[in-house]
């Protein structure tokens, strides 16, 4: 699809770039709406769904041949939009389960898990996606696809995957009525070993967070 195609009255919905852009836009709108806090009871299941759908777009980008931008240097987009407010709103909403344990690269041996935050991860992913969307809306569709593919491999793909695993784990703990380990009070800037993580983790029953986060336990 050429950059000129974006300016047609009705872009072809079958075009790859249009489909990816639609999925990206859907994620951006959905997470922004969740962060407003109007429907906290459905926050976690909704985020689980949206991150899952975004990773379908990421998988398609990952399976696609390398996308080469038409210009040697990326056009200047100006300052990035601030995501601090969105990050803070998500952190407050997800406070009981915001911090989780993650291994950055499963193929690096003997790497200890480190604490991460779902709110930080979502804000990070949104920053990458908005950058590509700015190119798309400016009519630079090849540049947008290149950026989404590049940042999928270098950042947002692994970040979204980790977030999905955390969200899925929360839902599974609640639906199976199993105790949930909370990384209570851990500093996400610390590089902590597995034993310390286990030692510091406090026991929180899943039903204590099920109501506020819109989840139902198995009877």
Q: Of the given ranges (1-5, 21-25, 81-85), which has the lowest mean pLDDT?
A: 1-5
Q: Which residues, other chains included, contact 140 with Cβ-Cβ below 8 Å and sequence gap of 6+?
A: 3, 70, 75
Is a pLDDT exceeding 70 seen at residue 218?
A: no
- pLDDT, position 41: 77
3-state helix/strand/coil string of the chain: CCHHHHHCCCCCCCCHHHHHHHHHHHHHHHHHHHHCCCCHHHHHHHHHHHHHHHHHHHHHHHHCCCCCCCCCCCCCCCCCCCCHHHHHHHHHHCHHHCEEEECCCCCCCCCCCEEEEHHHHHHHHHHHHHHHHHHHHCCCHHHHHHHHHHHHHHHHHHHHHHHHHHHHHHHHHHHCCCCEEECCCCCCCCCCCHHHHHHHCEEECCHHHHCCCCCCCCC
pLDDT band, very low/low/confident/very high, at 71 (cuts 50, 70, 90): confident
- pLDDT, position 211: 54
- pLDDT, position 79: 64
Q: In whole numbers, what is the pLDDT of the chain averaged over residues? A: 79
Q: Note the pLDDT tens digit of each residue in 135-165.
A: 999 999 999 999 999 999 999 999 999 999 9
pLDDT band, very low/low/confident/very high, at 194 (cuts 50, 70, 90): very low
- pLDDT, position 176: 80
CB 1 within 8 A of CB 15: yes
């Amino acid at each position: 699809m050429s950059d000129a195609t974006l300016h047609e009255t009705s872009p072809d919905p079958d075009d790859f770039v249009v489909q990816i852009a639609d999925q990206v836009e859907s994620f951006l709108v959905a997470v922004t709406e969740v962060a407003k806090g109007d429907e906290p009871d459905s926050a976690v299941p909704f985020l689980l769904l949206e991150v899952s759908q975004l990773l379908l777009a990421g998988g398609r980008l990952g399976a696609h041949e390398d996308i080469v931008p038409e210009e040697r240097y990326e056009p200047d987009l100006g300052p990035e939009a601030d995501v601090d407010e969105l990050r803070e709103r998500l952190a407050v909403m997800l406070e009981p389960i915001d911090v989780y344990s993650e291994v950055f690269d499963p193929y690096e041996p003997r790497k200890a898990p480190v604490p991460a935050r779902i709110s930080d991860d979502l804000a990070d992913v949104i920053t990458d996606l908005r950058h590509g969307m700015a190119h798309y809306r400016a009519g630079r569709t090849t540049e947008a696809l290149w950026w989404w593919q590049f940042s999928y491999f270098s950042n947002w793909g692994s970040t979204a995957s980790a977030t999905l695993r955390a969200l899925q784990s929360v839902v599974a703990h609640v639906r199976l009525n199993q105790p949930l380990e909370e990384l209570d009070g851990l500093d996400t800037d610390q590089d902590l070993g597995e034993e310390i993580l286990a030692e510091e983790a406090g026991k929180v029953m899943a039903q204590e967070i099920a109501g506020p986060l819109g989840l139902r336990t198995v009877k």
